Structure 1
């Protein structure tokens, strides 16, 4: 009953945001690099920082009145530290949606937000000092990769839902690493967002506030799981996005292009724009492939090195083959 109430609150608040966005012209205008053709409301991903605020409010309230709203799995983790990082990142990302901020301003806030995330994970205490700068680079890279991949209806919402459901399964059936509500609240946020976005004519787009916000939450959960188990294989819950973004960056570097400029070289863009495949079909394909990877990661007893090999190699081969095939067809 509690989760239904949270879902309905998120749904209503999302509708209220639509009214505000419409009034103040917070929209996404298509250009020659866009995969969409119609003006659409931007910033629908505001549902994710709101989901955290609801989580935090119910958590604090539950502790005050001694209700078991949250189990004890995260008693040593300070959700407020996570929340400060999340809200800072979402705030600067929303401002970037509105005003197109300079990259220098964005990176400063990204570093600050990731600092809060690492503090939440207790990484500054548990990990060797050399690992900290590596984590800054990796996490900021993942956040921006999420943003790069959020280009067609449903793709990041559905992809994130697969990651979160996989994490929930691990948490409830294999190893308890976090309070289940800390996973369920962003799941509810994804469901609300997908209701408006996973359709042929989307009511809204996620915006940077959404792609950065949900990426931050997913990375935090994967980080907690990795800290709990001491295994790095859980990063493969982001394997599909990772392979695509890294491969595309290498391709653009080879072509001497500015990797920070908008483009249409991602495979999902080619499938949607060149092959004219439905956005929803492409988004579902990405989610299904990632789900298959997650099943292998969760249920395989193989050494981690082999798990990386049997998941990443087929994804990379499939990516290269399909992309090459599309380019040949376009050239012909």
Structure 2
């Protein structure tokens, strides 16, 4: 407990130090046509996540040397390139190369290369890189990344402690502490900082690693549902944009949370809480359901997908009718 308190205080001090650096070197987020905010805000507050892992390495040197080196290299590589991209836009080739190498290190960390056939490797690369980018797409309003991440991490912590151990407890707890520190400065009407790509990519990478370890331990793929709320929204939004013949790689404002924030003018914090609670409801059902994995996946995806489409269509009609008037 003393260790956790010390880590929390250290992270709190270090993020304040980062704010001073970001302010001095003008590392800011300027609103654009995709943004759901209108004020210039410090960017890159999500650097707290790789910092938390570095502190984890200091307190758990032996375990890191033996078990976590592959994950650590992948995390730090993807966070470094993401932070540079936050400050100065990098070419897509550089980003995708680093993402590919980081994912390879993550899969090595989870020992997936030795446990799955060669033909399945490209599939997992696509899934992991797609999930990372989905996590980045959903980082658009105050509190969203922090609240959603905290719910998922607490669920993983509970599963690891009370249901089936799949990793070292501290490996989850340090990420939780970093999320709490980040939320203190981001879960506000006027956020002190945004996560930036370094934050969404960093914690997304950490969560994917944890969920992959859990799936490999249990051999139950239903735990992909720990990403279900984000997953449903991103997949359905991509399908919508493809049907509209839009470039899915260009910035847009078609996500439901963007429509709620930008058009409906709903509070960012309220939206973030709704998304986090929706994922919490899924997690509770996922943990306590006795149904087989495929049935749980269908039960979650069909109704949640239907609710998402219903809300989005209803909101769009209301926006269109208001525009006509």
The residue that corresponds to 2:218 in the other structure is 229
The residue that corresponds to 2:56 in the other structure is 55
Structure 2 distance, partners of 1:165, 1:33, is: 31
Alignment of 1:30-45 (within 5 A): 30-45=31-46
Q: 1:96 aligns with which of 66, 70, 85?
A: 85
Structure 1 distance, partners of 2:191, 2:98, is: 30
**Deviation string, structure 1 residues 143-175 (Cα, Å, up to 9, x no partner):** 000000000001011101111000000000000
The residue that corresponds to 1:66 in the other structure is none
Q: When the two structures are superposed, what TM-score results if normalisation uses the length of structure 2?
A: 0.97
The residue that corresponds to 1:184 in the other structure is 173
Give the deviation of 1:180 after TM superposition: 0.3
Structure 2 distance, partners of 1:23, 1:263, is: 30
Mapped pair 1:196 → 2:197: no
- After TM superposition, which residue ranges in structure 1, 4 or more long, deviate above 3 angstroms? none
The residue that corresponds to 2:120 in the other structure is 131
**Deviation string, structure 1 residues 1-47 (Cα, Å, up to 9, x no partner):** 11010000000000000000000000000012210000000000000
SS of 1:124 mapped into structure 2: coil
SS of 1:31 mapped into structure 2: coil
Mapped pair 1:262 → 2:263: no
Count of aligned positions: 320
Indicate the RMSD between aligned Cα atoms, in angstroms: 1.1
The residue that corresponds to 2:282 in the other structure is 293
Structure 1 distance, partners of 2:238, 2:89, is: 22
Structure 1 distance, partners of 2:177, 2:257, is: 25
Mapped pair 1:85 → 2:74: yes
Structure 2: runs of 5+ lacking an equivalent? none
Structure 2 distance, partners of 1:99, 1:251, is: 31
Give the deviation of 1:104 after TM superposition: 1.2
Structure 1 distance, partners of 2:262, 2:82, is: 27
Structure 1: runs of 5+ lacking an equivalent? 64-69
Structure 2 distance, partners of 1:85, 1:250, is: 30
Structure 2 distance, partners of 1:99, 1:260, is: 19
Q: When the two structures are superposed, what TM-score results if normalisation uses the length of structure 1?
A: 0.95
Give the deviation of 1:102 after TM superposition: 1.5
The residue that corresponds to 1:114 in the other structure is 103
The residue that corresponds to 1:25 in the other structure is 26
After TM superposition, the structure 1 stretch with the greater mean CA deviation from structure 2, 184-193 or 121-130, is: 121-130
Mapped pair 1:280 → 2:269: yes
The residue that corresponds to 1:67 in the other structure is none
Structure 2 distance, partners of 1:101, 1:124, is: 30
SS of 1:4 mapped into structure 2: helix
